[in-house]
Structure 1
């Protein structure tokens, strides 16, 4: 008996006090910094300690989704919806996004239709869910017939009056499909000021993949340019982006690799919003200095614009202007990416 008792005692693991909260807080910080795999690893530890905590569950689900772990996040979302842990409609929102990524449009329809029939959709969610239901019904029909049967109906599939989230969903549904029925609407969106810059880049990428060879007006940040999508390099191939990225890597690789990853992720998001326009000012050192300043801001460290400008051999005014623009890009890109 004594031996059995000792075995049982040795099998009991008592976590350090506050360890769950530390995993959660660090996981959320990683999620906000777009370090999604790290966020998944940390939040998984917190979730295993307390799977009934709604905040931990929601954060872990979001991390799985953002990391592209769609099958795992789908399973978790379905468990949360059944158990009632967390806000039902917040979890449902992520669940529907996961289904879209998995091209399971029929399941979106099967999930939303009963809620509408029973009038259980909150008023603030009704318009978004209704549009998502309509888009999914069309996509599910297209999956069944293999092509678009009604061109006039399909042209309203995506347009500039939708929310950015619904536009992104619609563009995701168009991947690997014939986009010509929607081409006029997509081209109009590229010149519309109300359409998010990130959405415009997704549209340009879609037009590139479909080898659209015609000159199109594109507007971003009050700058207009007429260009042909087929002639554009990819976002990653823009020479200026590569130069800034290389300079930041050279300066931070050995000094602070964690900060380097955060800044590189930031540069990638910002370049995606700016694409396909050239960055202004054209001196990459100005941008490298401004991103270094962002690094100081991320860690709550003080910095002197005059000294930083001298170190990079640039003007203090252009550093301040570029830093302010980066703050704007960060605010814009964080709302959708």
Structure 2
């Protein structure tokens, strides 16, 4: 970890100051509240020069480093806290996941989540958080990165790699019954591993899986991504939320990506300067929501409404006063908010987060 400030004292002489650590901590916390993260980080650095194992200083250093975009420094502090068996383990681990996700290191995030989920005695709400974040990372890890969504069919055909004759005639064996019967975590790992093996000959089994109302939403979303990425079909039918939809895989707004981008832009424009951490959580939630509800139409279509919805969710509470303030931030009326919340509650009945 880089040097965290100047030296203490002058000419090698340390001048003791009564209650120096408490004074520095109080001032640093005040600066955090005022969003003056650079100045606060310097004070937390001074605290760490006095005591390199100060849990409060390490935590403050990590938070400020995240807000300043210095994820490398934040990660060093968080890892040190986790290795020291901090009493603030759950808060620190949430910070750690925030760092990994901001760096788009979804593989490490999933690995850490799986490791922590093996621990006994985890609070129920923390277990739910881990499940939610694991599903989010799995989808983002598997989500195809396409910059050619707008290309016409001829261009896509030209760019596609033609399989050789031997590969075409080598039918890959996929145990679909085993995939369908596995628990959700195993399903995700299996599907992620077999995605490259999918061929057009598997489309009947893929279609059956997508129409099975017993299969999880996020698994169907991952499978849609695999079908698109493998250029196996331009459209397929999928059952979600008790209805059958026509998923157009070559559509420019596949997985509601454009709409999700608009929601994210509204959230960041409105909230990021005030609360970067809340902004990150809200964006993570809206991204997972928009991907998993696809291809169900999202109503209402105003991104400001959904930005308000997920900022409130990220806050973890929804008092009337907080709701009024957030709706004011995004200039959203009560009627549109109720419509969006009603849709969210209806789809949540299908365990889109679990």
Q: Shorter-chain TM-score category?
A: 0.5 to 0.7
**C-alpha separation in 1, matches of 2:109 and 2:286:** 29
Question: Root-mean-square deviation (CA), in Å?
Answer: 4.8
Aligned length: 246
Report how far residue 202 of structure 1 moved. Answer: 0.7
Q: In 2, Cα distance between the equivalents of 1:250 and 1:277?
A: 27
Q: Which residue of 1 aligns with 2:280?
A: 261
Change (3 A) 1:183 1:163: farther
CA drift at 1:208: 0.5
Matched-pair contact (CA < 8 Å) for 1:286–1:312: yes
Q: Does 1:322 align with 2:311?
A: no
**1:202 pairs with 2:237:** no
Q: Match of 1:252? A: 271
Q: Does 1:174 align with 2:217?
A: no
Alignment of 1:225-304 (within 5 A): 225-231=245-251, 233-235=253-255, 237-238=257-258, 240-297=259-316, 303=321
Query: What displacement does 1:199 show?
Result: 1.1
Which range is displaced more, 37-46 or 161-170? 37-46
Say if 1:207 and 1:230, in contact at 8 Å, map to a contact too: no
229 and 199 in structure 1: CA distance in 2 versus 1, 3 angstrom threshold: same
Q: Map 1:147-226; keep pairs closer than 5 Å.
A: 154-156=174-176, 159-213=179-233, 215-226=235-246
Are residues 1:44 and 2:62 paired?
Answer: no
1:287 to partner: Cα distance:
1.6
Contact 1:211 1:230 in 2 (8 A): no
Change (3 A) 1:38 1:318: farther
Q: Deviations over 1:95-154 (max 9, x none)?
A: xx9xxx9xxxxxxxxxxxxxxxxxxxxxxxxxxxxxxxxxxxxxxxxxxx9899776x63
State whether residues 188 and 219 of structure 2, in contact with CA within 8 Å, keep that contact through their aligned partners in structure 1: yes
How far is 1:325 from its partner? 4.3
Q: Per residue, is there more helix in 1 or in 2?
A: 1
Deviations 1:248-304 (A, max 9, x none): 222113222222112111111111111233311123232222223224436x87635
Give the secondary structure class of the aligned counterpart of 2:336. helix
Is this contact kept in 2: 1:193–1:220, CA < 8 A? Answer: yes
**Displacement after TM superposition at 1:321 (Å):** 4.0
Q: Which runs of 5+ in 2 are unaligned?
A: 1-48, 121-133, 139-165
CA distance in 2, matches of 1:232, 1:161: 33
Helix, strand or coil for the counterpart of 2:220? helix
The answer for the alignment partner of 1:9 in structure 2 is none
Partner of 1:132: none
| 8 A Cα contact 1:201 1:273, kept in partner | yes
Q: CA deviation at 1:180?
A: 3.8
Structure 1 unmatched ranges of 5 or more: 1-11, 31-35, 88-96, 102-144
Query: What SS class does the counterpart of residue 160 from structure 1 fall into?
Result: helix
